[in-house]
Amino acid sequence: MFKDPLHEEFGSWALGFAPYGGADVGEVTAIAAAVGDGDDNAFYDAWRAAADRLAGSAKDAEAAGHVASAREYSLHAACFYAVAYHPIYGVPVDPRLVDAFHAQMAVFDTAMRLNDPPVESVSIPYEHTTMPAYLVRARGHERETRPLLIGTNGYDATVTEMYFAFAAAAADRGYHCLFFDGPGQGKLLVDDGVPMRGDWERVVTPVVDFALALDGVDHDRIALTGWSLGGYLALRAASAEHRLAACIADPGFDGIWSGILSMATMAGLPREAVEALPDADDGTLRALQAGIEAEPHANWGVLKRGFWVNGADNLGDWLKAVEPFALGDRARDIRCPTLLTTAENDVLGKGAPALLDKLTCPKTLLEFTAAEGAGDHCEMQNRSLLNRRVFDWLDGVFGV
């Protein structure tokens, strides 16, 4: 629908949220037409205008007593604000990104407040600050003790998007769901400038501590799920946090670092230069940067998103920052039943079968195909199918 490939990637994510109240196809088509041949500014303006219009409709609907409509307008607006600022990631942080993020969180909070019953907004203690989170209780079983699904995010999504991705589906399936943004994500990144860390077990352990103090949580049936980079983060956390009774990695992959080494090899760097990474001389860094700048997706993913999220301002420092994002031998430390996904056209999941072989815990691999409409990254164009298969697996593990 969008002429620019990056715009297509960002814009099509909204379609993945359609089954769970995030967007409608006609809305996204209309926005694509408004963007036309435009640049990142045109993309932002079109999505922001649509989000602002929906947010205004939400206020009008609530004032008129149309609570259901107000909630639905607010969910669409939250989805659209999040899409709007993706192309303008980077440092210095664009004020438009900050403003859209705050608008996104405000309308999402409205939607959660208008939910029946209301979704709980909570703060999870973490080091010297707190992590924003939401607790969606199992639909129809809100006051009962139920299994809990903890949701962790990836490299560039924010907490609101996990509601559409799996939290709403979890509640429909009889699970309580606690989903949060950690360092390098959402508020901690946008407002506080806290970079992401590779040792995600130090992030998830306080989340599990918090979850165990909640009413209605079955302490023996707590699962952790992560999507996109969160697939690695979830596995890394499960390698040390053994109070988890199940782990889901969507997709299953072993972190950023192995991909960097593959990228450097494919770029034609000498073997000795690749083996020396993350330490690199100026010539190696120039060659790598030239290759990254020449490819729009890599340019956005590394020089814009990567530098910002990992707290780096040059390629050498970024390489050092992402080296710890590697599962390695820790795969054998995962004890709980673990599910890996791999989608046909998703490069992040290509190593899932090899990673499965390294796991010594009870393990399952789910494969998704383009023929099913689920062959892309995180199965975004068929999240309904992903959720059916994942929750069927988790039902079996937990005896739900």
228 is catalytic: yes
Polymer length of the chain: 400
Q: Which H helix or E strand runs over 75?
A: helix 67-84
Residues 6+ away with beta carbon under 8 Å from 329: none
Query: What tokens does 357 get?
Result: 């072989």
Of 374, 371, 370, which Cα lies nearest the Cα of 388? 374
Rounded CA separation 36/61 (Å): 31
Catalytic residue among 228, 239, 258, 384: 228
Residues 92 and 84: their CA atoms lie apart, in Å, by 17
Residue type, 64: A
Amino acid (1-letter code) at residue 303: L
Locate 321 and state its tokens: 């920052």
- Is 250:390 a contact under the CB 8 Å cutoff? yes
Pairing verdict, β 338-343 and 246-250: parallel
Which three-class secondary structure state does DSSP give residue 246? strand
Radius of gyration of the chain from its Cα atoms, rounded to whole angstroms: 20
CA 94 to chain centre: 21
Q: What are phi and psi of 222, to 5 degrees?
A: -115, 125
Cβ-based neighbours of 195, under 8 Å, separated by 6 or more: 183, 184, 189, 309, 310, 311, 321
Catalytic residues: 228
